[in-house]
Amino acid sequence: MNRLSSRLVLSHVLVAVLGALATFLIVRQLAPALFDETLRRTQTGGPRGPGSGPGPNAGLREQFATAVDQALLTGALIGAGVAALVGILAAWRLIRPLGSVRRATRQIAEGRYDTTVAVPKEAELADLANDVNSLGRSLAETEARRVRLLGEVAHELRTPLTVIDGYVEGMLDQVLPTDAGSLGQVLDESRRLRRLADDLSTLSRAEEGRLELKRGTADVRPVVAAAAERLRPQAQDAGLTLRVDCGAVPLVADIDADRISQVVTNLVGNAIRATPAGGSVAVACTGADAWVVLEVADTGEGLAPADLDRVFERFYRVPGRAGAGQDSGTGIGLTISREIIRGHGGDLVAASAGPGAGAVFTARLPRIAGASGPAVPATA
């Protein structure tokens, strides 16, 4: 029996003993007097006056008192025994589920996150068991994400490292020329690794709620327009038409202009990569009640219904997408973009009529009604 069980049993016994002692003292004081009074009433038909002695019933009175004492002591002993048994039973009913919880928490601490606790009938203990089970499930999900992230990062690192190794070995073996073309390929892959490292750092801070947002009141339109226009040469090289329409009405919000510019760059860049030559990409800013709405629409490959939410997962690639080569980015741009928008109190969602029908990405930011903030230009 552990210390908690012992304390529970002793508490029951102590309560029983104290109750028996109080009963003994009260009965010991009152019983003889009540006995005498009853005898007087029986023998004289009424109470005796003051100064009456114990009379000839003194011996009987002592015998009665002794019998009462013995009965009370016997009852106290029996009560203490019963209290001890009840205490043992209560302690067992309490300690057994607590022991299960303790064993489960130890197993969870050892990394066995699939451990579960049987839920007892007692409401308080049931809440505790449910909390422990929820903790185990949460830790299991966190561990699964961690393992998956490590595998995804390793996969994403492997491709540029393989290219770099191939070019360097080829130049060392004089199979490839040591010229600007070969060195440019190595430089491109090293930059891709740097972008991946930077994006992973940003994503980590965002998911932990530590993404720093240098927010200020600003008109969203010039921020969006400047970011989109920087990608116009890329769109033209891909044979696409890029349209940017942010209207004439100020759309003021409390934003980090650099981060919003990053979101626009990610969305427009993805749209350009997903749209074949001859298509178009449209960027629009509008106001809808208490929101600033940013839309990036393309006439590209579109998304299946199952991909509409999955595209925001880390390193998720749309199956069969033609642009999934080395220029397809780090694979976490949309994940970071959604975290940035949510950090501003909004959300980012995707919509598509299906494969081949293009896609629309819509970001919503809380709007400051009636304000006309300064036009904060986005930085590169």
Ordered by start, the domain boundaries in the chain are 3-110, 143-207, 216-366
For helices 333-343 and 180-207, angle between their N-to-C axes, nearest 10 degrees: 40
Fold of 143-207: Helix Hairpins (1.10.287)
For residues 223-242, give the mean pLDDT.
93
> Mind listing the pLDDT tens digit for each residue in 252-266?
999 999 889 989 998
Range with the poorest average pLDDT among 162-176, 251-265, 313-327 = 313-327
Q: Is the pTM of this model over 0.75?
A: no
- Please say if the pLDDT value at position 221 is more than 70: yes
- Please say if the pLDDT value at position 295 is more than 70: yes
* HSE-up (13 A, CA, CB side) for residue 283: 30
CA gap 132, 125 in Å, rounded: 11
CA gap 335, 37 in Å, rounded: 92
User: Got the DSSP string for 294-332?
Assistant: EEEEESSS---TTHHHHTTSTT---TT-TT-STTS--S-
- Which top CATH class is 216-366? alpha beta
- Please say if the pLDDT value at position 7 is more than 70: no
Residue 231 confidence class, pLDDT cut points 50, 70, 90: very high
- Please say if the pLDDT value at position 279 is more than 90: yes
| Same fold? 143-207, 216-366 | no
> Mind listing the pLDDT tens digit for each residue in 79-111?
677 767 776 676 666 666 667 777 778 887 877
Phi-psi region of 372 (alpha: psi -120 to 50; beta: other; left: phi over 0): beta
For residues 275-279, give the mean pLDDT.
92
- Please say if the pLDDT value at position 133 is more than 70: yes
Q: Is 291 exposed, middle or buried (0-12, 13-18, 19+ CB in 10 A)?
A: middle
